[in-house]
Structure 1
Amino acid sequence: MSARFGMRFAQQSTRQFAARTPFKARNPVFRRYQGTAANPAVEAPAPQQSLWQRLWTSEVGIKTVHFWAPVMKWGVVLAGASDFLRPAEKLSLTQNAALMATGSIWTRWCFIIRPKNVLLAAVNFCLFLVGTIQCGRILMYKRSQDGSTAAALKDMEKELVGAAKDVEKTVEQKV
């Protein structure tokens, strides 16, 4: 009984709305966007805003975290890029693998969230590139030491598994 009542109510309210509002007013295809003296109800377009006003009022503008978080994250990218000058034997594989993973995961996430944040996607993609380049340098260094790529990959795997186990132990101790 209540489901029928709800359906009738919805149908009646839709009919009443359709009867009150002319079709042309409800359908944006039929709207005219020019204002004339004969038709003052149509609004004139808003005046153009300056670049500063658009940056200030934007969803990802200067006064939001969507702007300042990527700006601060560029520091992490620059710190990783400054390691390009260090010898490959002094680089940390786990740190650069973390940069690579963080960059790839958050780059994808920046295109899923609303509002889409292209500035954050750019900084995360650069973070992924820095991590990839550094991991490549480490791999080439280990290959030159051992003479084979397979041995270098096994060493890297052991190092990463060991680091993951250390993190797991630390988490278990904290919990």
Structure 2
Amino acid sequence: MSFRPGARLFTTGIRAQAFRQPFLRQPFLRRSTQTAAGTEQKGFAKLWNSPVGPKTVHFWAPIMKWALVLAGAADLTRPASSLSLTQNAALTATGAIWTRWCFVIRPQNKFLATVNFFLFLVGSTQCARILLYQRSLKAAGQEAEGEGAKLVKELEEVGDKAKKAVKS
């Protein structure tokens, strides 16, 4: 027993009744694309009343996410030296994970899966560009080290010849 007056009322009455009755008698997923007369909807009406149609967040979230895809595609014109591997790896992982998730959730949202797949493609393309650029820098650095070692040897040989010419 609680000394607070509203606690007993909440635990016995309101909360119990609220959780006994479902909020929706018919689940969201089982809504039909049929009208009250029983005829199949066609065209725009079918899209408008769809569980992933323009009246839901399932439609507008992918629309807004296309901005990420377009920004990543715009970065294809930037040099690879100015791109972030961490950021593009995050975009790649996000695209891959959420593409899979779009087929697991109900209702399946193929429009969101499409935008996430393109996000994965753009991110992985940028990651490949960055990694190839870093590899080319390493190769150029190793080549420069090899050239530097050759120059050092040549300078030592020239220095030895100069010392012999001075001594004689």
- TM-score, L = length of structure 2: 0.59
Q: Are residue 126 (structure 1) and residue 118 (structure 2) matched?
A: yes
Runs (5+) with no aligned partner, structure 2: 1-36, 141-168
1:101 correspondence with 2:115: no
Separation (CA, whole Å) in 1 of partners of 2:106 and 2:42: 24
Q: CA–CA distance in 1 between the matches of 2:91 and 2:100?
A: 14
Distance 2:134 2:73 in 1: 20
Question: How far off is 1:50 after superposition?
Answer: 3.2
Rounded to whole Å, the distance in 1 between the matches of 2:39 and 2:56 is: 24
Structure 2 residue 109 is the aligned partner of structure 1 residue 117? yes
One-letter code aligned to 2:86: T
- Distance in 2, matches of 1:132 and 1:47, equals 46
Could you tell me how far apart the structure 2 residues matched to 1:53 and 1:108 are? 29
Read off the aligned partner of 2:139 and give its amino acid letter: G
- Picking from 118, 123, 127, the partner of 1:135 is 127
Greater gyration radius: 2
Matched, 1:53 2:53: no
Deviation string, structure 1 residues 37-61 (Cα, Å, up to 9, x no partner): xxxxxxxx83342311111110001
Q: Which runs of 4+ in 1 moved over 4 A?
A: none
Q: Which residue of 1 aligns with 2:71?
A: 79
Determine the C-alpha separation between the residues in 2 that align with 1:66 and 1:115.
Answer: 9
Please tell me the root mean square deviation across aligned C-alpha atoms, in Å: 1.4
